[in-house]
Structure 1
Amino acid sequence: MRTGRVERRTKETEIMAEVNLDGQGRSDIATGIGFLDHMLDQLARHSLIDITCKAKGDLHIDYHHTTEDTGIALGEAVSKALGDRKGITRYGEATIPMDETLTRVALDASNRPYLIWKVGFSRDKLGEMDTELFKEWFQAFAQNAGLTLHVENLYGENNHHIVESSFKALARALRQAVEIDPRKSDAIPSTKGTLGGSLEKEPAARKS
């Protein structure tokens, strides 16, 4: 089984994240942020990646540090599980409808992290969570999982649907990308013979 586990402790958060890329989509999530828990459950369920994520953060300040650091830890766990990325399909794409909303995600598990985020919201908050934090989560996850990740909301009105379709599209695209290609299970999917390249992986940006 391709698994990865990360324990991350800072003055702001304590997080344990564990993934099994060859799982059944099981989840055990408790971040202290109800909406984020719901989205990570969707990520596990639709990617078929088993995800455990336990977080304690400075929620009395706001949800920023816990949201971002959860993305960092889960991304690191995925990267550990992928290892040298030998045999993976590498690319994934999904276009997910949710009622009036349509969102597209395309990704390359290239170990060259980059995020394109074309998602807008008409509200500042969903429940008690700032909508601007969803970009922070996707940025942290892409950076630390080593994904070139493009997320585009094509249209939609309901902000909940926009966020949820983004996570579901990520899940389905990730499921494709990390699956082992039976025709090339012994090969790195790159003409260079390695995934990564000249772009050094930088720590995810911390915003205060």
Structure 2
Amino acid sequence: MRTATIRRDTSETKIAVTVNLDGSGVYDVKTGVGFFDHMLEQLSRHGLIDMTIRCDGDLHIDAHHTVEDTALALGAAVAQALGDKRGIRRYGDALSPMDETLTRVALDISGRPWLVWRARFSQARLGDMDTEMFQHFFHSFAQTAGITLHMETLYGDNNHHIAESMFKGLARALRAAVEIDARKADAIPSTKGTLGDATA
């Protein structure tokens, strides 16, 4: 089983994340930020990645450190669980509709972190989470997971739907990319023979 546990303790947050890339979408998430928990649950359920996440953060200030550091720990856990990435499909994409909203997500588990972001929110907060933190979450996750991530909301009006379609889109794209390709299960999907640095 491709699993990993990451612990990340700073003066701002104390985090423990466990993932199983070959799971069934079972989650146990508690960050102290309700809307964020709801989004992480979508990522687990629709990505079929089992997740246990605990974060004790400085929420008396705001949710910034909690969201950012959880993203960093989650990305690191995914990268660790992938190991040398042998046999993975590497690429994944999804069109994620939610009522009036449609989001497109495409990613490459390349070892070259990057985020292309084309999305807007019309309100500053969703529940107890600042909407500006969504871009920051995906950027931080891409950095430590080592993925090139493109996210674009093609259209949509409801801010909750926009955010949820992003997380569900990432879930489906990630599920496809981490899946083992039965035709090449013994090979690293790169002509360079490695997927661990900026040259792959």
TM-score range for the pair, normalised by the shorter chain length: over 0.9
The equivalent residue for 2:8 is: 8
Distance in 2, Cα, partners of 1:151 & 1:3: 26
**SS, match of residue 162 in structure 2:** helix
The equivalent residue for 1:156 is: 156
The equivalent residue for 2:126 is: 126
Amino acid at match of 1:188: I
Shift of 1:129: 1.2
For the pair 1:177 / 2:177, whether they are aligned, the reply is yes
The equivalent residue for 2:88 is: 88
Question: Structure 2-normalised TM-score?
Answer: 0.98
For the pair 1:69 / 2:72, whether they are aligned, the reply is no
Distance in 1, Cα, partners of 2:74 & 2:181: 23
Shift of 1:197: 3.6
* Structure 2 portions without partners, runs of 5+: none
Q: Among the aligned pairs, what percent are the same residue?
A: 65
The equivalent residue for 1:101 is: 101
- Of 63-72 and 188-197, the range deviating more from structure 2: 188-197
For the pair 1:146 / 2:146, whether they are aligned, the reply is yes
Amino acid at match of 2:21: L
Amino acid at match of 1:7: R
Question: Structure 1-normalised TM-score?
Answer: 0.94
Distance in 1, Cα, partners of 2:198 & 2:99: 42
**SS, match of residue 151 in structure 2:** strand
- Residue-pair matches, total: 200
| Deviation readout 1:158-194 (Å, 9 max, x if unpaired) | 0000000000000000000000000000000000000
Distance in 1, Cα, partners of 2:194 & 2:124: 42
Distance in 1, Cα, partners of 2:57 & 2:65: 7
Q: CA RMSD of the aligned region, Å? A: 1.1
Amino acid at match of 1:126: L
The equivalent residue for 2:57 is: 57
Distance in 2, Cα, partners of 1:131 & 1:25: 25
Shift of 1:198: 3.4
TM superposition outliers: structure 1 runs of 4+ over 3 Å: 196-199
* Structure 1 portions without partners, runs of 5+: 200-208
**SS, match of residue 183 in structure 1:** helix
**SS, match of residue 120 in structure 1:** coil
Shift of 1:61: 0.2
